[in-house]
Amino acid sequence: MTDIVRFGVSLPKELLNEFDRHIKSSSYSSRSKAIEDLIREDLIDKTWTDRSKISAGIITLVYNNHKRELSNNLVCIQHDNQDLIISSQHVHLSHENCLEVIVVKGKSGKIKKLADKLKSEKGVKHVSLIATIAG
């Protein structure tokens, strides 16, 4: 079980009032949980800044399946990066568009490079990388 530590924080009153309004509108049940999430977000950002740190994430991409060679290229890129890819799911969004959701884990620099490579393919309409913690 995780040890919980209590500590005091001094903040400008106005800032705290604004934060309380924000957490109320975000459905947080406590100030502690909201602060815990902010700290985690900051630590995740730091992990993703250091390109050698092991991270996990999700790459989503939407592409036009009528573009010649594109589907093959995207599969080849994924095969070349199989050490990073844990799983992937393909969804036929519409007659023209496909969505792929790729779960990745590895060095954050390599994950970013993979997302950039997928993004640079002609016919890829949107790529996003959602960064999270590896463990």
Applying CB under 5 A, the residues found at the interface with Ni ion are: 92, 98
Residue of minimal CB distance from Ni ion?
Answer: 98
Shortest distance, position 43 Cβ to Ni ion, whole Å: 36
Q: Which residue's CB is nearer to Ni ion, number 23 or number 60?
A: 60
Shortest distance, position 91 Cβ to Ni ion, whole Å: 7
Secondary structure of the chain: what % helix, strand, coil (to 5)?
40, 30, 30
Q: Which residue has the tokens 């790459």?
A: 59
Greatest Cα-to-Cα distance within the chain, rounded to the nearest angstrom? 60
The H or E element containing residue 105 is strand 97-107
Shortest distance, position 92 Cβ to Ni ion, whole Å: 4
Q: Which residue's CB is nearer to Ni ion, number 32 or number 89?
A: 89
